């Protein structure tokens, strides 16, 4: 049992993992999302793997600070930092929901198209 828990714990801290890469190698699509209000069932019904974007291992906020003030929430800043670093290049697309204004910065910047 501890082996399974260790594997789950390791996967929890990775952005890209073997399961996502295996899905992509089979020719299927992976869509990113970051709002809990977006129902994963819509992705699944379309045959697409939903991938919850998280700020794990964002490596700081250096890149995102060019788009956000220091007073903004660290969650969207860390995700934007990872997008700008190219950590989400494996995604085939991104589904947005306007949950709060800082997310609009990600939508309005052209960084997504430039790095993926």
Whole-model pTM: value is 0.79
Tens-place pLDDT, residues 54-106: 888 777 888 888 877 777 788 888 888 888 888 889 999 888 877 777 776 66
Tens-place pLDDT, residues 42-60: 999 999 999 998 888 777 8
Tens-place pLDDT, residues 10-52: 888 888 888 999 999 999 999 999 888 889 999 999 999 999 9
In sequence order, the 6+-apart residues with CB closer than 8 A to the CB of 105 are 67, 68, 76, 80
Domains detected in the chain: 2-115 (3.40.50.11890)
């Amino acid at each position: 049992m501890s082996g399974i828990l260790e594997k789950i714990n390791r996967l929890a801290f990775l952005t890209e993992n073997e399961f996502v890469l295996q899905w992509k190698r089979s020719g299927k699509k992976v869509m990113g999302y970051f709002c809990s209000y977006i129902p994963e069932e819509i992705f699944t019904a379309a045959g697409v793997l939903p991938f919850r974007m998280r700020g794990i291992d964002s490596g700081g906020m250096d890149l995102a600070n060019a788009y956000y003030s220091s007073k903004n929430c660290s969650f969207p800043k860390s995700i934007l930092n990872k997008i700008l670093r190219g950590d989400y290049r494996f995604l085939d697309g991104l589904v947005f929901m306007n949950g709060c204004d800082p997310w609009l910065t990600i939508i309005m910047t052209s960084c997504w198209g430039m790095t993926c």
